[in-house]
Amino acid sequence: MSFASSRIFIPMVLDVIGDIHGHAQHLVDLLRLLGYEKRNGAYRSAETGRHAVFVGDFIDRGPDIPGTLEIVRRMVDAGAATAVIGNHEYNALCFHTRRETANGPRWLRTRSDTHLYQHLDTLFQFRNDRASLREYLRWFRTLPLFLEIGGVRVVHAAWDEDAIRIVSRDGTMTDEFLERSVTPGSDEFRAVETLLKGVEVHLPEGVTFLDKDGHSRSATRVAWWQPPMPTTYRELAFPPGTVASSADIPVPNSALARIPGYAGEVPVFLGHYWLHAERPSVQSRVVCITDYSVAAGGFLAAYTWRGESRLTDSHWTWTPSGG
């Protein structure tokens, strides 16, 4: 599927499933809770017109990455599911793709200790089956960066019309597109950063925080769908509690101007944000994050959309926490 052809208008019931990160058993458990059964090699719903949608981040971190990819791809190939690419699949493509430079070939994603650590579980679990990993990498190239399907929008981290227009010019995830997308300052770089990694605001000088992997960060993700209003860095950061009270400093208008907001009436579904809660909940009547940190002791969640224009917390299904 190309970026430009990733708009599919088919009335249906959609089960939007959050970031899996190699937790294949959680995925099987969730699919069964949703009423999916394995038939002819793929999990399918017995309900006519019911379809799964995956928000990306199938790989890295978890105990059964090959099993996860097999389930997701078989469902997509069978027409029982649709998937968008997550930042981890995109990072993997760049990690395994070279470009020619004046100093010889270089990887699009540097093989630093940090990047190796992030991808290590995937590399280890495919250590004896490199051919399958290469095939999945080819498949990642076919996954769209965004999706409009059956009256909803799906993207891994942030819905931004300007970014969508930029990636739609290219059509497919070629080596050339990937190379432009890792070039700071390019349109493609800004677009992919937004769609797959979200909107970030740089913190004041000297203010940092540790992310979930223990790395120091000087920029924070924000709730990009909310109207940009005068606030402090601590209140702006998302998820809440990301930065400490030392960031109780007003955010300048120049930083607020980078937050697009979301005034659309079409529901948009996201992953990416590693939320922690006892149970899932929607972010607004039209914005829903489905990532509840299954790879960090949380749970795998799905929102079942049945055509409603106002999202509701009564449409969630999720697995038990842990594992």
User: Helix, strand, coil shares of the chain as percentages rounded to 5?
Assistant: 30, 20, 50
CA atoms of 71 and 41, how far apart (whole Å): 9
Answer positive or negative: Cα dihedral of 221, 304, 310, 298.
negative
**In terms of DSSP bridges, do strands 81-83 and 50-54 run parallel, antiparallel, or are they unpaired?**
parallel
Residue 65: enclosing H or E segment and its boundaries? helix 65-77
**What confidence score (pLDDT) does residue 158 get?**
98
The 10s digit of each residue's pLDDT in 284-295 is 999 999 999 999
Residue with tokens 């993207």: 155
Phi, psi (degrees; rounded to nearest 5) at 30 = -65, -45
Question: pLDDT tens digit string along 140-193?
Answer: 999 999 999 989 999 999 999 999 999 998 778 999 999 999 999 999 999 999
For the domain spanning 7-197+261-318, the CATH number is 3.60.21.10
Residue 5 scores a pLDDT above 70: no
With cut-offs at 50, 70 and 90, classify the pLDDT of residue 2: low
Q: Where in the chain is the domain with CATH 3.60.21.10?
A: 7-197+261-318
Q: For residue 239, say if its preceding peptide bond is cis, omega within 30 degrees of 0.
A: yes
Helix (H) or strand (E) holding 287: strand 287-289
Per-residue pLDDT reduced to its tens digit, 58-111:
999 999 999 999 999 999 999 999 999 999 999 999 999 998 887 888 999 999
Mean pLDDT of the chain: 92
- List alpha helices for 6-51, DSSP H: 24-33
Q: What is the pLDDT of residue 208?
A: 82
- Please check whether residue 306 is in contact with residue 13, taking contact to mean a CB–CB distance below 8 angstroms: yes
| 233 φ, ψ (degrees, to nearest 5) | -60, -40
Q: With H, G, I as helix, E, B as strand and everything else as coil, classify residue 116.
A: helix
Rounded to two decimals, what is the model's pTM? 0.93
